[in-house]
Amino acid sequence: MRPSAKRALRPGSAKPSGRGDLRPLFAILWAFLLGLASASAGTLDRAGIERHFPAPLVVGERDDKIPVWPILKQEAGSYEVIAYAFESIDFARIPGFGGAAPNLLIALAPDGSFRDAKVLSHHEPVFLEGLGSEPLFAFVEQYVGLSAKRPIRVGRPGARANGAPPATTVDGISMATASTRVVNETMLAAALAVARAKLGFGAGPAGLRVEAKPAFEPLSVAELERRGWIRRFTVSQSQADQAFAGTGVEDADPGEEPFADLRIAYLNVPSIGRAILGEAAFARLMRELGPGDHAVLVVSDGRWSPIPDDFVLGSIPDRVTIQQGGLAVNARDAAWERRDLAPSLPAGPWTILKITEAAGFDPSAPWTLALKLTRERGQIFPEKISREISTDYALPPELFLRQSPDAGPDWTESWRARGWELGVIAAGLGLLVPVLVRQRGLVAQARPFSLFRLGFLAFTLGFVGWYAQAQLSIVTVVGLVRAAFHTGDLGFLLYDPPSLLLWAFVLVTLLVWGRGTFCGWLCPFGALQEFAAWAAKPLRIRQVAVPPPLDRALRQAKYLLLGLILGAAALGSPLADSLGEAEPFKTAITLYFLRSLPFVAYALGLILLNLFVYKGFCRYLCPLGASLAVLGRLRLLDWIPRRAECGSPCQLCKVRCRYGAIAPSGRIDYPECFQCMDCVTIIQDPKQCVPEVLARRRAHRAVPQTVAAE
Amino acid sequence: MSASGIRLRPAPERRRILAGAFGALAAVASGPAALRALAGAQGRQAATRAGLAFGTTVSLTLAGARGADLEPAFRAGFAAIRAVEAAASLYRPDSALARLNRDGSLDDPDPLLVEQLRFALDLAAASGGAFDPTVQPFWTLWAEAAARGERPDERALIEAVARVGWREVEISAGAIRLARPGMGVTLNGLVQGYAADRVLAALAAHGIADAFVDTGEFGALGRHADGTPWRLGIGGPRRGGDLAAVIEPFTGFAATSGDDATVFSVDHRDHHIFDPATGTSPQALSAVTVTAPSGLLADALSTAAFVLGPERGAALVVRYPGCAVRFTAKV
């Protein structure tokens, strides 16, 4: 009977929107707009610095231009500078994984080496009570003795013992890859900034390393000249005379035209260097240059020569200067043997200028070659008069790889390295979505669906959680709030590709289905609880019935906790990190329970609680769940089908819902729904859904009744 | 104590060298523990604050009643040093002097720069050009040659001599101008002594009656915290040598110009003090120490006397009341 029962289903009805539900979103947008980087400066005063550099070291008067303290040593009544001490936060504010920048106390010796490095403060979640701060302290200590003149990379744990160059590598820490990189960037960027100001090196863009891409295109010298990759620069006699206008030697140097005819080329770009030097010589030159060094060729035709007759190989030529950004770049003759040049270039005198990495030269940006022309005035004691003529040189930036050790390679590297994990997670999500969409498909088949669910949760716990370390966490939300209020930098998100993928997916599903997709399917700790409950089934533990008023009150607790955490984060209080420990994810998933006893006991306690109050943590306490529930109010679909009988008279789904997300009226409390699909399975199963069972029974009964009457 | 003269770039080793060569006695700065204990018994204290200025280390030692807050005086002392640096330090690319050299002229010059430059030009006249604040082109020439491991060639030196001449510096109301292109002014021959003047004046304005300052040159007021006079050691001509003399009691100012500071040759033949007429270093002396009633005078006279040599140098110094000079022959 009641063949119309199916028509009573109301799937997919759009939820009326435009109520106060948008407020949380506005609050968050507003927080982002507020993203004012509050300029919190260094924390140490003279006494603070003196604590770190005690007698007999002497803390000198702070520099009047930049917050740097000279550290001196007294010897026989006079002083000697042994280091410059400073706080990284004053020079490089790089937000860490928790959204706030770590602050390091760094002492840089006059030779550019790290004399001291200590952590003053940090908000890296993995170290805060997780691994403990000791591994971070030990990590930072590795820098002592290394030179800030060379980029230092974070290797794998134990990299130095396994052959990584010890002068440019520090050992990483497993499970803290992103955090150690942030600390590394902070060290290098701050040290370079101070070195530029106090030690006179690192003049270029801080830490930026620009290298020619290895791509080779066979081009002729003529074609290179046409593109301007080999710059031809001609100075006529009259131009040279003009430069000397008003000096009395305007026409002291007549001769054939042209006065100077130069070819200028940046050799590191293979298409240029190989065309000029030939393949073998180009390879040799590149080997001879250190990593990050540059080579520039200047070859002349015409009367003027870039190098005088008595030029000493390997010295700094004074007739040609490379300038960039108004500053002279230190360039020295590379003492390269005088042959090997392409025959189509002029045969005049030439030099290959070598620019070392420390010069901070950026070949992808325009630079200038200045020629110094000198004439003499007078006969007996001739006065030398010099004038400069210069020409610009620029290559297309596409020829270069701009690597900032501060940011670029690190996050792209983690995306490359974790590409396959991303692929597996994406495949998992691609499997999940159609199953959840097609409610009359797998969902309707109780047993196969529960097997699918167990399988998927195993994937969530084992692969997403323990292997790929992609347990989403309130820590990220805290980071976002800190970024909005303090740092304005969301870069930290890029270091953890699997989590970012999941966040993107979860945000989309929030709009479609609500918080349940994450909480019920993609939260590794949630999966762990579900397995624990499943495994404990033979123990016949009975669920504790939480009285409804208490249940309602407890459900609000998670919002309170969320408010406290976000408030603390917005105020810049480290309390946010401590309160975030209410979340056992780090203990159970990130650190595999390898943590100090109180944390392990807490996490295990929650799992135990789950046996009596199913997913009690998720429903009552989880701040991440609370934040998703708040955002989930933007959900577009009321996607759980309902019948007219739901709630009145039928209470089956309400009773079977292990999350208490169905009101006695039959209404679904979506912010509490974990999308386990139990109620959908019931409603799709004519053998379970009470109205259908009754209808069938009535229809069934009708026929035999007449028979029985016989 | 230090050599004055021409110095453009920081010379980090300078302090070490000087500590051996002309090392002020350690007692000067902090006092031996026993003396400090004695000072404590008398209810007096001394404190030292070191810092970096003029491309080297500087330090101020103040003595005062125990419990007195010396912090404001330290701040004032260093502020005085920073003000002099902002006017006339060649180690600061943004100092008034550096801008003058870069642009060849300077409008509304810093009064501290004008005062030093006027003094320098007066002394140039009085010393017959032996002291010349326009010898900066020599420094550039020698420093570049030294970077190549060479000495500048004759022609380059002659060319540089043509760009040196104190008469080509014009100070008018509201502007300083260098008359010829390629000129450069250095006040390194007197700026550290001048800083000592300014620091002691600032300290005195804060009620400090006992102080010892090392701005590269030395100045002292009053006595040490324990009541003993300040002492200043004059080193022998080379590092590691014994002290040649001790000035005790030391009040007023003392400055030394020596061939030990920035050197261009291992035998100390070529260094940072130049004869304006030749562009090379004078060969008669290793060091000259002048004591004087002002740091400016002490510092500038020591440079002038170094160039002039013993006889003419002594003749110059006696013309200034309250000044004395001590020569150390070239070794």
For A532-548, the pLDDT digits (tens) are: 998 888 888 888 888 98
Least Cα separation, residue A145 to chain B (angstroms): 20
The size of chain B, in residues, is 331
Domains and CATH numbers, chain B: 1-331 (3.10.520.10)
Predicted pLDDT at A361: 79
Cβ <8 Å between A61 and B147: no
From A60, A72, A77, residue closest to B23, measured CB to CB = A77
Please compute the mean of the pLDDT values over residues A368-385 and round it to a whole number. Answer: 80
The rounded percent of chain B whose pLDDT value lies above 70 is 85
B228 assigned ligand-binding residue:
no
Least Cα separation, residue A59 to chain B (angstroms): 7
Preferred mutation among B2, B8, B15, B192 to probe A, highest tally of A CBs within 10 A? B15
Cβ <8 Å between B26 and A76: yes
In whole angstroms, what is the distance from residue A704 CA to residue B1 CA? 122
What 8-state DSSP symbol labels residue A123?
A: -
Q: Outline where A387-515 has alpha helix (H).
A: 408-417, 419-437, 446-459, 474-482, 497-512
Sheet strands side by side (includes A320-324)? A327-329, A320-324, A367-377, A383-393
Rounded alpha-carbon distances, angstroms, from residue A265 to A268, A476, B167? 9, 48, 46
Put simply, whether B162 touches A (Cβ < 8 Å) is: yes
Cβ <8 Å between B26 and A383: no
From B23, B78, B147, residue closest to A61, measured CB to CB = B78
From B12, B16, B233, residue closest to A110, measured CB to CB = B12
Q: Outline where A249-310 has alpha helix (H).
A: 270-277, 279-288
The predicted-structure confidence for B58-107, as pLDDT tens digits, reads as follows 999 998 887 788 999 999 999 999 999 999 999 888 899 999 998 889 99
Q: List, in sequence order, every beta strand (DSSP E) within chain B.
A: 44-53, 56-65, 105-107, 169-172, 175-178, 210-214, 218-221, 232-235, 243-247, 252-258, 285-292, 324-329
Least confident of A303-317, A451-465, A469-483, B156-170: A303-317
The SS3 assignment for A350 reads strand
Predicted pLDDT at B2: 39
Predicted pLDDT at B301: 96
Predicted pLDDT at A426: 95
Predicted pLDDT at A112: 85
Q: Inform me whether the pLDDT recorded for B37 exceeds 60.
A: no
B303 assigned ligand-binding residue:
yes
Cβ <8 Å between B12 and A79: no
The DSSP element (H or E) to which A607 belongs, if any, is helix A597-612
Predicted pLDDT at A325: 61
Put simply, whether B28 touches A (Cβ < 8 Å) is: yes
Q: Which residues of A touch B (CB under 8 A)?
A: 58, 60-61, 63-64, 70, 72, 74-81, 110, 312, 315-316, 318, 381, 383-384
Q: Which residue of B has its CA nearest to A384?
A: B159
Predicted pLDDT at A410: 54
Predicted pLDDT at A532: 93
Preferred mutation among B1, B2, B52 to probe A, highest tally of A CBs within 10 A? B52
Predicted pLDDT at A40: 45
Q: What separation, in Å, do the N-terminal and C-terminal C-alpha atoms of chain A show?
A: 24
Q: Inform me whether the pLDDT recorded for B12 exceeds 50.
A: no
Q: List, in sequence order, every beta strand (DSSP E) within A279-363.
A: 294-302, 320-324, 327-329, 331-333, 350-355
Angle at A603 between CA A602 and CA A606, to 5 degrees: 85
In terms of C-beta density within 10 A (0-12 exposed, 13-18 middle, 19 or more buried), how is residue A13 classed? exposed
Cβ <8 Å between B19 and A76: yes
What 8-state DSSP symbol labels residue A44?
A: -
Predicted pLDDT at B34: 52
The rounded percent of chain B whose pLDDT value lies above 90 is 53
Q: Inform me whether the pLDDT recorded for B4 exceeds 90.
A: no
Q: Inform me whether the pLDDT recorded for A640 exceeds 60.
A: yes
The predicted-structure confidence for A188-246, as pLDDT tens digits, reads as follows 878 877 887 777 654 444 445 678 888 888 999 999 999 999 999 999 888 888 888 88
The DSSP element (H or E) to which A266 belongs, if any, is strand A260-266
The predicted-structure confidence for A573-602, as pLDDT tens digits, reads as follows 878 888 988 999 988 998 788 777 888 999
Q: What is the CA B312 to chain-centroid distance, rounded?
A: 21
Higher pLDDT, A161 or B157: B157
The residues near B211 (Cβ < 8 Å, ≥ 6 apart) are B60, B61, B62, B63, B200, B203, B220, B221, B222
Put simply, whether B78 touches A (Cβ < 8 Å) is: yes
Please compute the mean of the pLDDT values over residues A389-410 and round it to a whole number. Answer: 73
Q: pLDDT band at B36, cuts 50/70/90?
A: low
Predicted pLDDT at A151: 65
Least confident of A276-285, A558-567, B264-273: B264-273
Predicted pLDDT at A6: 35
Residues from chain A that touch B52, judged by Cβ atoms under 8 A, are 60-61, 63, 70, 81
Q: Indicate the pairing of strand A169-170 with strand A153-154.
A: parallel
Q: Inform me whether the pLDDT recorded for A298 exceeds 80.
A: yes
In whole angstroms, what is the distance from residue A387 CA to residue B122 CA? 34
Q: Inform me whether the pLDDT recorded for B320 exceeds 90.
A: yes
Q: Which residues of A309-331 are buried (b: 16+ CB within 10 A; e: fewer)?
A: eebeeeeebebbbbbbeeeebbb
The predicted-structure confidence for A509-526, as pLDDT tens digits, reads as follows 999 999 999 999 999 999
Residues from chain B that touch A110, judged by Cβ atoms under 8 A, are 12
Q: pLDDT band at A14, cuts 50/70/90?
A: very low
| Tokens 């006092």, located at residue | B31
In whole angstroms, what is the distance from residue A47 CA to residue A460 CA? 51
Rounded alpha-carbon distances, angstroms, from residue A425 to A459, A495, A626, B131? 9, 17, 24, 79
Average pLDDT, chain B: 83
Higher pLDDT, A42 or B192: B192
B233 assigned ligand-binding residue:
no
The predicted-structure confidence for A95-120, as pLDDT tens digits, reads as follows 776 667 899 999 999 888 899 999 99
The residues near A149 (Cβ < 8 Å, ≥ 6 apart) are A112, A195, A201, A202, A358
Least Cα separation, residue A480 to chain B (angstroms): 41
The residues near A286 (Cβ < 8 Å, ≥ 6 apart) are A268, A273
Least confident of A75-79, A106-110, A430-434: A75-79
Least Cα separation, residue A128 to chain B (angstroms): 37
Put simply, whether B91 touches A (Cβ < 8 Å) is: no
What does R_g of chain A's alpha carbons equal in angstroms?
35
The SS3 assignment for A202 reads coil
φ and ψ at residue A651, rounded to 5 degrees: -120, 15
In whole angstroms, what is the distance from residue B43 CA to residue B46 CA? 10
Predicted pLDDT at B136: 93
Question: Which residues on adjacent β-strands are paired with residue A387?
Answer: A373
Predicted pLDDT at A20: 38
Q: Which residue of A has its CA nearest to B159?
A: A383
From A58, A72, A76, residue closest to B23, measured CB to CB = A76
Q: pLDDT band at A16, cuts 50/70/90?
A: very low
Q: pLDDT band at A249, cuts 50/70/90?
A: confident
Preferred mutation among A64, A73, A78 to probe B, highest tally of B CBs within 10 A? A78
The predicted-structure confidence for B203-224, as pLDDT tens digits, reads as follows 999 999 999 999 999 999 999 8
Output the six-digit token pair for A448: 């196969």
Higher pLDDT, A311 or A60: A60
Put simply, whether B83 touches A (Cβ < 8 Å) is: no
Q: Which residue of A has its CA nearest to B148?
A: A315
Please compute the mean of the pLDDT values over residues B173-202 and round it to a whole number. Answer: 94
The type of residue at B57 is T
In whole angstroms, what is the distance from residue A319 CA to residue A304 CA? 10
Q: pLDDT band at A310, cuts 50/70/90?
A: confident
Angle at B13 between CA B12 and CA B18, to 5 degrees: 120
Q: Inform me whether the pLDDT recorded for A58 exceeds 70.
A: yes
In whole angstroms, what is the distance from residue A676 CA to residue A662 CA? 13
Q: Which residue of A has its CA nearest to B83?
A: A64
Cis peptide preceding A258, ω within 30 of 0: yes
| Tokens 């003392």, located at residue | B254
Predicted pLDDT at B128: 93
Residues from chain B that touch A45, judged by Cβ atoms under 8 A, are none
The predicted-structure confidence for B250-301, as pLDDT tens digits, reads as follows 999 999 998 876 777 777 788 889 999 999 999 888 899 999 999 999 999 9
From A70, A72, A383, residue closest to B162, measured CB to CB = A383
Predicted pLDDT at B173: 81
Average pLDDT, chain A: 82
Higher pLDDT, A124 or A555: A555
Preferred mutation among B102, B159, B242 to probe A, highest tally of A CBs within 10 A? B159
From A77, A315, A381, residue closest to B24, measured CB to CB = A77
